[in-house]
Chains A and B, each alone.
Chain A
Amino acid sequence: MQEQKPIVIAQDVHKWYGKFHVLRGVSLTVNRGEVLVIMGPSGSGKSTFIRTFNALEEYQKGKIEIDGITLGHDLRNIEAIRREVGMVFQQFNLFPHLTVLQNITLAPIWVRKRSKAKAEETAMQLLERVGILEQAQKYPGQLSGGQQQRVAIARALAMQPKIMLFDEPTSALDPEMVREVLDVMLQLAQEGMTMVVVSHEVSFAREVASRVILMDSGLIVESGTPDEFFQRPQSERTRQFLSQIL
């Protein structure tokens, strides 16, 4: 069955920023329905790595296959993959000139060619799901950070992605807003969404991750279930990292 094939297969991925070797041969497979949490110090390449999954970053060596499509220089493949991969950014990146509703319906209308009515209907369902239905007609600048990030999640979901990438989704939030975003992500994970999350939220990782990974200096240094990762880490680097964040 095609469905059983991993959704992400990354093999020996290398990337350089000029002379700086950011990714030094990263290999990873993500299975459908999996919730993967990637941790690591800043500059370890974790954000860069997940941004290669939808070609926001190019890689110079290795191979990445998303949902059976090889990510290379083929423009059509890149577009096809971007339609299937949802992404949530640290800085939300909502479109400030559009209302919440327009933010969510933009891509379904212009990329998926849905009718406006159909797209709005779906958008309202999503807004209800992330708990901000009453904000549909407001502009992003009128919302709190937590609300904005929930709109960003709804916007990505509106494209009905097969996998969702989260790039430090709670790092730019005030502490009291972290929970509301994590709750939405938690719910999403329980509904069976495949997720790759770059985050330092230990409670989230413990609660929902099927696997936790530690990246350091462009390499994966630890990979295991939350239990293995937090209780019985294999590498000295992981123990050192955990001692600093726990």
Chain B
Amino acid sequence: MSNNQQPNNPKLNLWRDVRFWRFAGQFLAVLIAAIVVAILWGNLNRNLQQLGIQPGFGFLNSQAAFDIGETLISYAPSDTYSRALLVGLVNSLRVMVVGIILTTIVGITAGIARLSDNWLVRKLALVYVEIFRNTPLLLQLLFWYFAVFLTLPKVENPISVLGFIRLSQNGLELPGIQFSPEFSTLLIGITLYTGAFIAEIVRGGIQSVSRGQWEAAASLGLKPGLAMRLVIFPQALRVIIPPLTSQYLNLAKNSSLAVAIGYPDIYLVASTTFNQTGRAVEVMLLIMTIYLTISLIISLVMNLFNKSVQLKER
């Protein structure tokens, strides 16, 4: 009787040990990554040296000497590049934060409307989704800017919406707040574009909740609105949040299309900066780091939110 099973063999050959291969795989991956980074870094340094450029971020302290059309924090052309970039960052954050809030409202509303019992509401939501999802965002921004905001009446006789929203060539005016045409365009553009995608995510999420949940809610006397709010939507969130996070990230990154309509976001200020200083590598590294940081913060917050809506199974 031959027995090739060795259940308790203390001297297991290394190349047959699953733990060794797990470790070796990790080690190999790290090694390859390190080699690639080293090659790229050496390449960059060599090329910069040949061009006679000393890499460094000292230029950030020089005078920017350009004006920024829209600032939330104090700024003058005599301020430094770093101050200018900060102004751009604040402008970017403003459009991202307001945009994410508005697009969530638009997306949820349109997503629920897609499932409405009312034929007209359902079809209107469908038309909205299909138009905004299937045309390029850049085109939509240019449309809002040139075909809508720049053709609005002069500030003396604005269009009044609902009595308190005033639209004119000076932009969008709410009681106490004034938004420039550029900010309004970018906000409306990315809100409606992203909202169309979110609408589909919300619709899918709601449809993923089993019919039995609707029936149980109905049999307890909950009206459809309450059933949606208390029973269906909280469960749909489990399915909605991961793709919703992607849409928030898209919105944040798409806000850099501000450059097309001249809204001074971080990307526009940064591109002016590198045009003037020639510091392309540093500036690109800087704004990539900034976008990366913003994206990671959004992901982190959404992951925490995601964890809080997951079901407890055991």
Give the interface of A toward B (CB within 8 A).
Answer: 54-56, 79, 82-83, 85-87, 89, 91, 93-97, 106-107, 110-111, 139, 141-142, 155-156, 159
Taking the complex as formed, is B234 at the interface, i.e. its CB lies under 8 A from any CB of chain A? yes
Q: Report the separation of the CA atoms of residues A85 and B216 in the bound assembly, to the nearest whole angstrom.
A: 12
Given A79-B223, A96-B311, A159-B221: A106 touches B216 (CB 8 Å cut-off): no
Q: How large is the interface on B (under 10, 10 to 19, 20 to 34, 35 or more residues)?
A: 20 to 34
Residue pair B314, A141 in contact (C-beta under 8 Å): yes
Residue pair A97, B215 in contact (C-beta under 8 Å): no
Q: Convert B115-134 into 0s and 1s, putting 1 for each residue whose CB lies closer than 8 angstroms to a CB of A.
A: 00000000000000000000
Q: Taking the nearest CB of chain B, how far is it from the CB of A17, in angstroms?
A: 15
Taking the complex as formed, is B17 at the interface, i.e. its CB lies under 8 A from any CB of chain A? no
- In B218-240, the 8 Å CB interface with A consists of 218-223, 226, 230-231, 234-235
- Among A95, A111, A139, chain B packs the most CB atoms within 10 A around the CB of A95
Residue pair A85, B219 in contact (C-beta under 8 Å): yes
- Among B219, B223, B230, chain A packs the most CB atoms within 10 A around the CB of B219
Residue pair A82, B219 in contact (C-beta under 8 Å): yes
17 A-B pairs besides A89-B216, A142-B314 with CB distance below 8 A are: A54-B218, A56-B215, A56-B218, A82-B220, A82-B221, A86-B219, A87-B216, A91-B212, A93-B216, A97-B309, A106-B230, A107-B221, A111-B222, A111-B226, A139-B311, A139-B312, A156-B219
Taking the complex as formed, is B213 at the interface, i.e. its CB lies under 8 A from any CB of chain A? yes
Q: Taking the nearest CB of chain A, how far is it from the CB of B306, in angstroms?
A: 13
Residue pair A93, B220 in contact (C-beta under 8 Å): no
Q: Which residues of A contact B210 (CB under 8 A)?
A: 93
Q: Which of A79, A93, A94, A139 contacts B215 (CB 8 A)?
A: A93
Given A79-B221, A96-B311, A142-B314: A110 touches B216 (CB 8 Å cut-off): no
Residue pair B212, A89 in contact (C-beta under 8 Å): yes
Taking the complex as formed, is B156 at the interface, i.e. its CB lies under 8 A from any CB of chain A? no
Identify 20 residue pairs between A and B in the complex whose beta-carbon atoms are under 8 Å apart, listed by A's number.
Answer: A54-B218, A55-B218, A82-B219, A87-B216, A89-B215, A89-B216, A91-B212, A93-B213, A93-B216, A95-B235, A96-B311, A97-B235, A107-B222, A111-B220, A139-B313, A141-B311, A141-B312, A141-B313, A142-B314, A159-B220
Residue pair A95, B231 in contact (C-beta under 8 Å): yes
Q: Which residues of A contact B219 (CB under 8 A)?
A: 54, 56, 82, 85-87, 156
Residue of B nearest to A51 (CB): B215
Q: Taking the nearest CB of chain B, how far is it from the CB of A108, in angstroms?
A: 9
Residue pair B235, A82 in contact (C-beta under 8 Å): no
Residue pair B311, A107 in contact (C-beta under 8 Å): no
Q: Taking the nearest CB of chain A, how far is it from the CB of B313, in angstroms?
A: 4
Residue pair A155, B220 in contact (C-beta under 8 Å): yes
Residue pair A95, B212 in contact (C-beta under 8 Å): no
Q: Report the separation of the CA atoms of residues A83 and B234 in the bound assembly, to the nearest whole angstrom.
A: 23
Q: Taking the nearest CB of chain A, how far is it from the CB of B221, in angstroms?
A: 4
Q: Report the separation of the CA atoms of residues A83 and B217 in the bound assembly, to the nearest whole angstrom.
A: 11
Given A89-B215, A141-B314, A142-B313: A96 touches B222 (CB 8 Å cut-off): no
Q: Taking the nearest CB of chain B, how far is it from the CB of A41, in angstroms?
A: 23
3 shortest interchain CB distances as A-B pairs:
A93-B216, A107-B220, A141-B313
Q: Taking the nearest CB of chain A, how far is it from the CB of B5, in angstroms?
A: 37
Residue pair A97, B311 in contact (C-beta under 8 Å): yes
Residue pair B216, A95 in contact (C-beta under 8 Å): yes
Residue of B nearest to A78 (CB): B218
Q: Which residues of A contact B217 (CB under 8 A)?
A: 95
Q: Which residues of B contact A55 (CB under 8 A)?
A: 218
Q: Taking the nearest CB of chain B, how far is it from the CB of A53, in angstroms?
A: 10
Q: Report the separation of the CA atoms of residues A111 and B235 in the bound assembly, to the nearest whole angstrom.
A: 20
Q: Taking the nearest CB of chain B, how far is it from the CB of A133, in angstroms?
A: 19
Residue pair B235, A96 in contact (C-beta under 8 Å): yes
